[in-house]
């Protein structure tokens, strides 16, 4: 894999998605504003980006209802996903690099659908790097809660309610073999069987402990490069160890350390493969002085090329 040392596009569009409709706990709807307050625009501009904040997408309010047939707020999530798809697709069609500022991770159904749709239009394969404590591969038959933020990877790879699948241009939106998961450490019992059967590639925390984050990312990025693919990065802040990212609804001990996360982001940047980004699950209602949004902004700076020493080579 050749190191390009730059992102695909420095014309960045920030797209706020203020919704917690896919989760149990309220508060992720405040995530986009937390990222703005933490200085996301300013730090991207320091990295040479031309930043346009298009504001917040709108969608249904959270009705806080129980699941129906294994789905909580199914139709509301469908509307959000379609609105997100339309906004992100438009920005990509204008030649911009979209950053979806979530919002709970169910919102990535819309962003992945848009990225996959646009890549199909330009005849380019798409791969997804899913950085998360959770596999998010549930269906209504396996989910203990019915929360759709636990289902987006399953939907992206072709499993789920027809109304969710219809947001994409095709089924699956992304072939399972093109999905790479990093930092996984919490998978529901029945969900695990679906993950194993699916054919997605999972680097759980034990795997990372054994081979290290550097080798993990080398393997993933080499495969993406070999496929000549657009890389969509979907970053859930609960992938990080809770002491450094407390402002999430589902804290799971044993996540990525600060340095592991930084190296992961730096290597993604150095690959030159990234073309779109989600930042999900920041919950200011559970945070301490906006520290989780601040670390997300810090890691985003590394994704966009910030280095301690420029031109550093391992």
The question of whether 93 is a catalytic residue gets the answer: no
Q: Is 132 a catalytic residue?
A: yes
**Residue 163 designated active-site:** no
According to DSSP, the β-strands at 126-131 and 179-184 are parallel
Closest to 112 (Cα-Cα) out of 133, 94, 89: 89
Query: Is the bond preceding residue 172 a cis peptide, omega within 30 degrees?
Result: yes
Catalytic residue among 91, 260, 278, 281: 281
- Told to judge if 238 belongs to the known catalytic residues of this protein, a careful annotator would answer yes
Rg over alpha carbons for the chain, rounded to the nearest Å, is 17
Q: Which residues contact 32 (CB under 8 A, 6 or more apart)?
A: 16, 17, 18, 56, 101, 102, 103
Asked if 241 is an active-site residue, the reply is no
Q: What are phi and psi of 236, to 5 degrees?
A: -100, 125
134 within 8 A of 142, measured Cβ to Cβ: no
Catalytic member of 188, 238, 266, 270: 238
Which is the catalytic residue, given 136, 191, 278, 287?
A: 136
Which one is catalytic: 56, 76, 91, 132?
132
Catalytic residue from among 76, 236, 241, 260: 236
Whether 236 is catalytic: yes
Burial 283-307 (b: 16+ CB within 10 A, else e): bbebbeebebbbbbbbbbbbbbbbe
Catalytic residue among 149, 161, 230, 232: 149
Active-site position among 73, 85, 134, 232: 134
Give catalytic residue positions.
Answer: 105, 132, 134, 136, 149, 236, 238, 281
């Amino acid at each position: 894999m050749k190191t390009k040392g730059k992102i695909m596009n420095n014309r960045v569009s920030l797209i706020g998605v203020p919704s917690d409709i896919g989760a149990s706990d309220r508060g992720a709807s405040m995530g986009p504003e937390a990222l703005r307050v933490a200085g996301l625009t300013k730090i991207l501009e320091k990295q040479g980006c031309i930043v346009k904040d298009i504001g917040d997408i709108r969608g249904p309010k959270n009705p806080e209802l129980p699941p129906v047939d294994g789905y909580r707020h199914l139709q509301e999530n469908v509307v959000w996903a379609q609105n997100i798809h339309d906004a992100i697709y438009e920005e990509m069609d204008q030649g911009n690099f979209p950053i979806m500022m979530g919002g709970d991770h169910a919102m990535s159904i819309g962003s992945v659908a848009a990225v996959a749709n646009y890549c199909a239009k330009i005849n380019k394969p798409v791969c997804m790097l899913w950085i998360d404590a959770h596999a998010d591969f549930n269906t209504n038959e396996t989910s203990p809660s019915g929360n759709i933020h636990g289902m987006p990877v399953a939907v992206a790879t072709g499993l789920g309610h027809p109304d969710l699948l219809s947001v994409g241009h095709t089924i699956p939106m992304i072939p399972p073999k093109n999905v790479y998961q990093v930092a996984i450490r919490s998978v529901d019992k029945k969900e695990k069987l679906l993950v194993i059967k699916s054919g997605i590639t999972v680097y759980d925390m034990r795997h990372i402990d054994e081979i290290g984050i550097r080798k993990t990312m080398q393997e993933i990025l080499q495969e993406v490069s070999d496929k000549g693919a657009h890389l969509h990065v979907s970053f859930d802040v609960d992938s990080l160890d809770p002491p450094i990212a407390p402002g999430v609804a589902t804290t799971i001990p044993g996540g990525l350390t600060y340095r592991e996360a930084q190296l992961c982001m730096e290597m993604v940047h150095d690959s030159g493969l990234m073309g779109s980004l989600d930042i999900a699950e920041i919950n200011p209602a559970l945070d301490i002085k906006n520290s989780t949004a601040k670390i997300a902004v810090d890691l985003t700076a590394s994704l966009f090329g910030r280095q301690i020493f420029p031109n550093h080579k391992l």
